[in-house]
């Protein structure tokens, strides 16, 4: 482990309120996030879970720079970011690959924007094609790939930019269980090799306990921190073990009241 | 049972032509000539040597005149519609300023523009080109606007987080993402240009396939009218094929362009 270096991401009393104007001209305010204080160490793998409406995606989008915070502070590697940037790579649930670029070109896209010399772009492309196991598919186009392969390209594309933080917004949520398990394994291997800070949003308690160093539970209306649990199980983790399930029980109990409220609201 | 595709494609025309032949052949006062007569006229129109009238062997000259007007009008429309569409699709203020006027002008038939066009551009080819440009302008414009407006916001976000400079987002993301829709507009526009050819050549131009058809109608030369129709159909089909080939090469990554 690195000595206590500067944290990768910190949020201090972060607050987000959406203001939307309805047709009659009145403003409605939605308090999406309230007093979020997070401290994420470099190289840490954080999973954020919570019932829908807890603001987990909003939080991630604020860190990415796609949305602004209302009050409070956000720092990435000790600096306040202005808008989106290549130091914070995002992996979207719906991949968002460029359909007009091949697999290799998608991966090379970021390094090209950075203006790296050709040889270096090529080298990075090869390295990350290898890392996600898509060497054979390098000249294919996104529409020719399965969902799991697309998400591998999306991960490689972000890694090629050597970001300080990788933000993942329910990245495996649209994949079938077997593909998902495969990608979870690959992601852990990549993370262990590249030692990147990962901020990973999921609605699956299993996924969170399986992947994370620390699980953060958000609670809705407004989104606020409810619980933070370190997961100190050795990897690879046994999802059938007692320890795993004890943690899972704790997290499920933390989320249960929010889900009950949601269910009652729908009934 | 592997019947080639072209067998299916030709079945209906053969049946229709056979029916047409049976219904018209040997009737000396039929207003519609039988296909056998049309074939002779079409041959004579293209190569001469059969009828030796004013139209014998004039197809190439007339076709060239028509092709230049079709592509002239189409290109004029394209160079205005696509840049304008890119702006309207991106800039809300421009869309609010211009879109209502365009929506009002759009349903006016090209035929209705004929008298005004002749006043503005005089008799002759410029009026023809203007009419064709007018008719092909709207589908190209609307497809460009939609293509730009409907670019996945996710793709723009992806480009931003990968470090694309703000000023380069348009060229590197919006333009390629909108290109299939722009291409669809181009294809529809060129198809329409051929559809508008006959109306376009009602502006008093002496040559052209459309002008020949209108003249032949005055002379009750229905065989020549039908020959002209067939040639316009063939040229329109060929030009669509060429555009399709170009599109498939340029948009090879787009599964719906196949």
How much is the pLDDT for B1?
A: 65
User: Closest by alpha carbon to A80, among A68, A98, A91?
Assistant: A68
Residue A112 lies in a domain: no
Nearest CA in chain B to A114: B163
Q: Which residues contact A245 (CB under 8 A, 6 or more apart)?
A: none
Query: Residue A166 pLDDT more than 50?
Result: yes
How much is the pLDDT for A58?
A: 92
How many percent of chain A have pLDDT more than 90?
A: 55
Residue A17 lies in a domain: yes
Q: Name the band, by pLDDT with cuts 50, 70 and 90, for residue A1.
A: very low
List chain B pLDDT tens, one digit each, 258 residues.
678 888 888 999 999 999 998 888 877 777 889 998 899 999 999 998 888 888 899 999 999 999 999 999 999 999 999 999 999 999 999 999 999 999 999 999 988 999 999 999 988 899 999 999 999 999 999 999 999 999 999 999 999 999 999 999 999 999 999 999 999 999 999 999 999 998 888 888 889 999 999 999 999 899 999 999 999 999 999 999 999 999 888 887 776 654
Ramachandran region, residue A198 (left: φ > 0; alpha: ψ -120 to 50; beta: rest)? beta
Residue A44 lies in a domain: yes
Nearest CA in chain A to B250: A100
How much is the pLDDT for A157?
A: 95
Dist. CA A151–CA A169, nearest whole Å: 12
Overall pTM > 0.95: no
State the angle between helix axes of B35-47 and B59-90 in degrees (0 to 180), rounded to the nearest 10: 90
Chain A hits for B181, Cβ within 8 Å: none
Strand A214-219 and strand A45-50: the pairing is parallel
Dist. CA B182–CA B144, nearest whole Å: 5
Q: Give chain A's domain count.
A: 1
Q: Name the band, by pLDDT with cuts 50, 70 and 90, for residue A4.
A: low
Using an 8 Å Cβ cutoff, are A223 and A55 in contact? yes
How much is the pLDDT for B258?
A: 47
**Span A116-128, mean pLDDT?**
92
The pLDDT tens digits of the residues spanning A178-230 come to: 889 989 999 999 898 888 999 999 989 999 999 999 999 998 888 888 889 99
- From the CA of B161, how many Å to the nearest CA of chain A? 5
How much is the pLDDT for B19?
A: 92
Chain A hits for B168, Cβ within 8 Å: 113
Using an 8 Å Cβ cutoff, are B161 and A113 in contact? no
Residue A185 lies in a domain: yes
When the pLDDT of each residue in chain A is averaged and rounded to a whole number, the result is: 89
**Span A120-143, mean pLDDT?**
91
B→A contacts (Cβ < 8 Å), by residue, are: 152, 154-155, 157-165, 168, 173, 176-177, 179, 251-255
Cβ contact A110–B165 (<8 Å): no
Which of A61, A64, A98 is best to mutate for the B interface (most B CBs within 10 A)? A98
Does A180 contact chain B (CB < 8 Å)?
no
Nearest CA in chain B to A103: B253
Strand A214-219 and strand A197-201: the pairing is unpaired
Residue A148 lies in a domain: no
- From the CA of B85, how many Å to the nearest CA of chain A? 21
CATH of the domain at A216: 3.40.50.300
Cβ contact B254–A94 (<8 Å): no
Residue A227 lies in a domain: yes
- The structure tokens listed for A161 are 């930019």
Look-up: residue for tokens 């609201």? A265
ipTM of predicted assembly, 2 dp: 0.89
Does A174 contact chain B (CB < 8 Å)?
no
Dist. CA A134–CA B210, nearest whole Å: 56
Q: Which residues contact A227 (CB under 8 A, 6 or more apart)?
A: A215, A216, A217, A250, A251, A254
- From the CA of B158, how many Å to the nearest CA of chain A? 6
How much is the pLDDT for A261?
A: 80
Cβ contact B163–A88 (<8 Å): no
Residue A226 lies in a domain: yes
Range of the domain at A81: 9-87+163-266
- The structure tokens listed for A123 are 């080298």
Look-up: residue for tokens 């589908």? B139
Which of B147, B161, B172, B177 is best to mutate for the A interface (most A CBs within 10 A)? B161
State in words which class domain B59-257 has. mainly alpha
How many percent of chain A have pLDDT more than 70?
A: 98
How much is the pLDDT for B256?
A: 65
How much is the pLDDT for B53?
A: 87
């Amino acid at each position: 482990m690195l000595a206590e270096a500067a944290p990768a991401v910190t949020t201090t009393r972060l607050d987000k309120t959406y203001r939307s104007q309805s047709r009659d001209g009145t403003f409605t305010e939605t308090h999406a996030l309230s007093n979020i204080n997070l401290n994420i160490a470099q190289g840490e793998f954080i999973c954020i879970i919570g019932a829908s409406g807890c603001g987990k995606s909003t939080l991630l989008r604020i860190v990415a720079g796609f949305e602004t915070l209302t009050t409070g502070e956000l720092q990435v590697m000790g600096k306040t970011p202005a808008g989106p940037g290549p130091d914070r790579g995002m992996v979207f649930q719906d991949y968002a690959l460029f359909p007009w670029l091949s697999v290799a070109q998608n991966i090379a896209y970021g390094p090209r924007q950075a203006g790296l010399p050709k040889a270096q772009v090529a080298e990075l492309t090869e390295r990350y094609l290898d890392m996600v196991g898509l060497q054979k598919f390098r000249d294919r186009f996104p529409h020719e790939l399965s969902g799991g392969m697309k998400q591998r390209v999306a991960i490689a594309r972000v890694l090629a930019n050597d970001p300080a933080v990788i933000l993942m917004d329910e990245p495996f949520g649209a994949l079938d269980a077997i593909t998902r398990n495969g990608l979870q394994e690959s992601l852990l291997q990549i993370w262990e090799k590249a030692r990147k800070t990962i901020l990973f949003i999921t609605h699956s308690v299993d996924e969170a306990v399986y992947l994370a160093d620390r699980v953060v539970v958000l609670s809705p209306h407004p989104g606020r921190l409810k619980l933070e649990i370190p997961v100190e199980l050795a990897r690879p983790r046994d999802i059938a073990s007692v320890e795993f399930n004890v943690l899972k029980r704790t997290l499920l109990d933390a989320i249960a009241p929010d889900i009950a409220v949601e269910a009652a609201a729908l009934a | 049972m592997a019947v080639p595709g072209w067998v299916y494609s030709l079945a209906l025309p053969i049946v229709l032509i056979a029916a047409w032949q049976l219904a018209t052949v040997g009737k000396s006062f039929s207003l519609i000539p039988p296909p056998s007569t049309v074939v002779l006229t079409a041959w004579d129109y293209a190569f001469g040597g059969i009828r030796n009238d004013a139209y014998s062997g004039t197809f190439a000259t007339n076709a060239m005149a028509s092709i230049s007007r079709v592509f002239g009008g189409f290109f004029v429309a394209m160079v205005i519609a696509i840049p304008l569409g890119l702006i309207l699709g991106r800039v809300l203020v421009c869309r609010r300023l211009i879109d209502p006027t365009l929506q009002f002008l759009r349903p006016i038939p090209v035929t209705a523009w004929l008298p005004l066009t002749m006043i503005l551009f005089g008799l002759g080819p410029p009026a023809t080109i203007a009419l064709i440009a007018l008719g092909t302008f709207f589908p190209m414009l609307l497809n460009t606007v939609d293509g730009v407006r409907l670019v996945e916001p996710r793709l723009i976000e992806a480009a931003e987080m990968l470090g694309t400079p703000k000023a380069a987002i348009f060229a590197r993301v919006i333009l390629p993402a909108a290109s299939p829709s722009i291409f669809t507009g181009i294809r529809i526009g060129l198809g329409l240009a051929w559809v508008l050819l006959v109306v376009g050549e009602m502006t008093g131009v002496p040559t052209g396939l459309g002008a020949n058809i209108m003249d032949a109608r005055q002379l009750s030369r229905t065989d020549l009218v039908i020959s002209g129709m067939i040639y316009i159909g063939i040229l329109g089909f060929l030009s669509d094929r060429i555009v399709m080939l170009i599109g498939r090469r340029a948009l090879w990554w787009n599964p719906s362009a196949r």
